[in-house]
Structure 1
Amino acid sequence: MPFPAVMTMTDEAAARVREIMSREEPPLAGLRVGIKKGGCAGMEYTMEAVAEANPKDETVEHEGARVFIDRAAVLFLLGSRMGFEVTKFRSGFTFENPNQVSACGCGESVELREAAE
């Protein structure tokens, strides 16, 4: 029985990833999601466009969209769901993460714990 994906994507997130992937010539391989230390809560999600997959990354695909998960971030992202929202004041990717302990007031950083195995 295959293991579940590290992270899932909403249809809205997949549409935005596909749009970003197709804007480049040649098209991008996908987006890489990671975690870095920073912000007032201690950690921040990172995203970068990538032309080529890193063989050490986990790959999540949904409706033609491809997201690579940085190996160092896997335990912090297990069970997460990546979304994309547009509001009156901002648009961007969102993360529903069961490993999130808290978030800063400005919403730019989070405190994460590694997922229990």
Structure 2
Amino acid sequence: MDSMDIISLPVEFDSQKIDGRFRLVNIAAQRAKELASGAEPKIQTKAKKVTTIAIQEAIANKIEFLTGDEAARAKEQSKKLAFRKLLEDRKRELDAEELSELEKDLNVYIKEKEESITADELFDSEE
């Protein structure tokens, strides 16, 4: 059987879990992106194309996905987490910048103090 035969064969899937071909295509497309980005396949297959592997995984019910209100809540939660991470990263950057500025100010202060102290003052303070 060549690849053209496979393409023309109807794809059978669990209609209790996946409610239509459109959903199957969306699930497989998202999974194909993950596979293309380096994710490991969840099934053993001879297929080489990420799209074929993704469809096979979806048909085998190896891909977890959310729909409806559950998907909307998860998407909103994901946005909140991404925003929170962005804020934390920015705060870390600012803290590092502020620390760097404080170190510079401290170095200038120490250098000025060292330059203003005479040799006599230095030895007098030790006694």
Q: TM-score, normalised by structure 2?
A: 0.24
Q: Identify the structure with the greater strand proportion.
A: 1
Q: Which has the higher contact order (CA 8 A, sep 6+)?
A: 1
